[in-house]
A and B are shown apart, each in its own frame.
Chain A
C-alpha cells in the first residue's frame, strides 16, 4: 500500500529520490524528515477482530452514556426541586449541568474513539494544481472588459463623464450631515453633565426619608438620593453624606458654604471608571473605590490620594432648609463619573 502512495507522489513531479520505507532519513538534507516519504502508520490495518470488538464496545459504552445523560437531564428538568426553600433546590442547575455534560461529552468522546480505532485510516493523496486560469482565458476576459468600457460611451462623451463624476462626489457628501450627530455637536444640551439633583432638593435616604441635622453621628454615613420622582432609581445621582468633626474638614474658601457643621456630600461614582465609592474609613476619612483602589480624601474636597483616578469626586453643596432638613444648593459642581471629551467646560468651583 505504501508503495503505491510513493509512486503517486513521484508522479506529481517531485524528483527527490525515494528511500526505502524502513531506511533512516538523512537529517542533513531534511531536518524534519523527507516530506515526500510517508511515515504514516495505519492503526486500522493491524486491527485484529478481538481488539476491534473491544473498541466497538468501548465506543458503544460512551454512546450509551450520552443516552443516559440525556434521560437524566430531562428527568432533572421535570422532577428536581427548584423553588427557593425546597429541599436541595440549590443543586438544580448543577444536576442539569452534570447530565448535559455526560450527554454531550459522551457523544463527543465516542465519536473521537471511533475515529481513532475503528475507522479506516489510510493515507490518501490530494492533487494540487495551479489555481490561476489559462492564459487565453485571461486575455479573453481583458478583451471583454475593454469592449464593455468602450461600449458605455464614457470615453466618447466628456460631458457625460464629468457629470457622472460630479454626481458620485456629491453622493459622498451625504455623509457630512451625519457628522453633526457626533461628539461636541451631540452634547450641546449637556445631558451627561446633569444629574437628578437641583436647587432645593432634599436629601432622601434609601428608604425615602429626608435626612436632618442630628441624624448622623460623627463618623456616620448615609446613602442619599434627590427628592424628585424616581430619584431613588437615578444611578447618576447617588451620593453619600458623611459627618466628621468640623475641625477636621478642610474647606477651601470657595467651598466654605457647601458644608454644614462637618456634614459633606460627595458623588459616589468613581471618576476613574464609575464604580461606587462607598467604602468610608471613619478614622482616616478616606473614601476607597474597590475596583482599582482609588483613594479620596473626604476631608479635603475628595482629593485623589492614591490610585488611577485623575480627578476629585464631584461635591454636592448642601445647606439646611427652615425645617432643619438637608437640601442641595444645586447640582454637583462637575459632571459625575469617568471623563469624557466634552467634560471640561462644565467644571465649576462655585455652585451651578
Chain B
C-alpha cells in the first residue's frame, strides 16, 4: 500500500539529506571569495539577478540557459562575467566577427553583483583572493613571450587572426580583465586553466602586462605604436628617404 504521504516522504528525506550535505560543506570547506560576509553575498546575488534580468536575459535566457541570442551561462563562473562586463564587451552592441571592447555599461559594484549571481547559478572559475598583479616580473615576461606574444604581439598591442578576428591590444586592460581573460579563454582565445598556468604564474603575467602598459619605456625614444618593423620601416622610408631625395636634388641643382 503506497499512500501519498509515504511517497512524498521519500523525496523529503532526499532533499533534507542534500541540504544537510551542502550546508555542512559550505560551512566547512567552501573556498573564500571576495564577498565573505554571507549577508552581503546574498544581497549581491539578488541585485545581480535584477541586473541580469534587465540587461542580459533577452539573449542569455531567463534561466541563463542561452538561446539564439547567446550561449548558456551555466558554469561560466564569475570570472567570465568580470571579463566580459568590465571590458565592455557585454552587453553586445552588434554582431561582428568577435565582441569588441568598449565603454563598460556597469560600474564595478554592479559587475561584481552580476558575477556573484552567475557564480551562484552554475559555478565556474572565479578570481582568487588578494592582489592580481604582484607576481614576479621576469617570470611574467618569460611566460608572456612563450604563451601570449604570438597572438598579442611582443609588447601586447595586439595582432590579426583569421577572418576578421583579432587578438586585441592589452594596453587598456585592467589587472582583473587580464587575469580573467587567461582563466576563461573568451571566444577564440585559449583557456589557461590553473593547471596550465598556476595562479602565481597568472599573477606574474598580469604584472608584466600592466608593466608594459604603465612603466615600460621605449628604448630609442619612440615606440611608434610598438608594432615593430612595419612602422619603423615606414618612418625610415618617408622621413629618411625623403630627406635623402631632397638633399640629392639640392646637390644637383644649378647654383
Give the B-binding residues of A (Cβ under 8 A): 41, 43, 89-91, 93-94, 112, 116-117, 121, 206, 214-223, 276, 278-284, 286, 288, 290, 293, 295, 306
The answer to the question of B102 belonging to the interface, with a C-beta cut-off of 8 Å to chain A, is no
Instruction: Encode contact with A along B146-186: 1 for CB under 8 Å, 0 otherwise.
Output: 11001100000001111001010000000000000000010
B131 to A: closest C-beta gap in Å:
22
Which residue in A90, A216, A281, A286 is a CB contact (below 8 Å) of B220?
Answer: A90
Determine whether the beta carbon of A284 is less than 8 Å from that of B217.
no
- B117 CB to closest chain A CB (Å) equals 23
Q: Contact check, A281 vs B150: say whether CB atoms are below 8 A apart.
A: no
Structural contact, A279 and B150, CB atoms closer than 8 A: yes
Q: Are B185 and A90 in contact (CB under 8 A)?
A: no
A-B contact count (CB 8 A): 82
Name the A residues within 8 Å of B165 (CB-CB).
Answer: 281
In contact, B221 and A214 (Cβ under 8 angstroms): no
B187's contact among A93, A279, A283, A295, by CB below 8 Å, is which?
A283
CB distance from A242 to the nearest CB of B (A): 8
How far is it, in angstroms, between the C-alpha of A112 and the C-alpha of B246 when the chains are bound?
14
Among A215, A219, A276, A306, which residue has its beta carbon within 8 angstroms of that of B150?
A: A276
Chain A residue contacts of B27, Cβ below 8 A? none
Binding site for A on B (CB under 8 A): 142-143, 146-147, 150-151, 159-162, 165, 167, 185, 187-193, 195-196, 217-222, 250-251, 254-255
For this complex, 22 residue pairs linking A to B, each with C-beta atoms less than 8 Å apart, are A89-B217, A89-B219, A91-B221, A94-B222, A116-B255, A206-B142, A215-B196, A219-B190, A219-B191, A220-B185, A220-B191, A223-B147, A276-B150, A279-B161, A281-B188, A282-B188, A282-B189, A282-B190, A284-B162, A288-B162, A290-B150, A290-B160
Taking a contact as CB atoms under 8 Å apart, the answer to whether A220 and B196 are in contact is yes
A229 to chain B, nearest CB (A): 20
Query: Is A216 touching B193 in the complex (CB atoms < 8 A)?
Result: yes
The answer to whether A293 and B162 have CB atoms under 8 Å apart is yes
A16 to chain B, nearest CB (A): 25
B151 contact set on A, CB distance < 8 A: 278-279
Decide if A278 touches B150 in the complex (CB within 8 Å). yes
Contacts of A284 in B (CB 8 A): 162, 188
By beta carbon, the residue of chain B nearest A277 is B150
Q: A90-B218, A222-B196 are in contact. Are A117 and B191 (CB under 8 A)?
A: no
Give bound CA distance, A283 to B220, whole Å. Answer: 39
* Contact indicator A221/B162 (Cβ below 8 Å): no
Specify which chain B residues have a CB less than 8 angstroms from the CB of A214 in the assembled complex. Answer: 195
In the bound assembly, the distance between CA atoms of A293 and B190 in angstroms comes to: 19
Q: Is the CB of A112 within 8 A of B187?
A: no
Q: Which of B147, B159, B191 contacts A217 (CB 8 A)?
A: B191
B228 to chain A, nearest CB (A): 11
- Contact between chains at A282 and B159 (CB < 8 Å): no
The docked-state distance in angstroms from the alpha carbon of A293 to that of B165 is 13
